Amino acid sequence: MARYFFDITDDLLSVTDGEGEECASHQHAATRVAQILTEIAADTGSGDGQSNLTARVRDQAGQVVYEAALRVTGMWIDPSEHPDQRKAAPRERSAPAALAA
């Protein structure tokens, strides 16, 4: 098994993996980096906005062998603004002329 290092960058910071992880193959390393990115996205999901995550996978020689990116965009929907949730405003009715007098 080979050791791969997963360097992660988001909109605010960059983390260089100094420990690495044993992976059975290049494909396993690619699968693992997808898991890492989705775990980070799940932990940082805050609602409105966009988060861009990027990962570079390095081999034991320090060469970048794979790159992956994940963009998460979220937006809270205000029920009063959402067309399916809008309720028609009650209409004011005027009394018929015969009753108004």
How far, in Å, are 19, 42, 69, 98 from residue 2 at the CA level?
13, 28, 23, 91
Could you tell me what percent of the chain has a pLDDT over 70?
73
- Cα 52 to chain center, whole Å? 7
Return the pLDDT at 99.
Answer: 41
94 within some domain: no
Q: How many domains does the chain have?
A: 1
Q: What is the DSSP letter of 48?
A: S
Closest CA to 57 of 98, 28, 92: 28
On whether residue 17 sits in a domain, the answer given is yes
CA–CA distance, 72 with 98 (Å, rounded to integer): 62
> Would 88 be classed as within a structural domain?
no
Query: Within a domain: residue 10?
Result: yes
53 lies in some domain:
yes
Structure tokens at 66: 């794979």
pTM summary value? 0.70
Query: Higher model confidence: residue 75 or residue 58?
Result: 58
Note down the domain range covering 57: 2-74
Residues 29-60: pLDDT tens digits? 999 999 999 999 888 765 667 889 999 999 99
- Domain assignment of residue 57, yes or no: yes
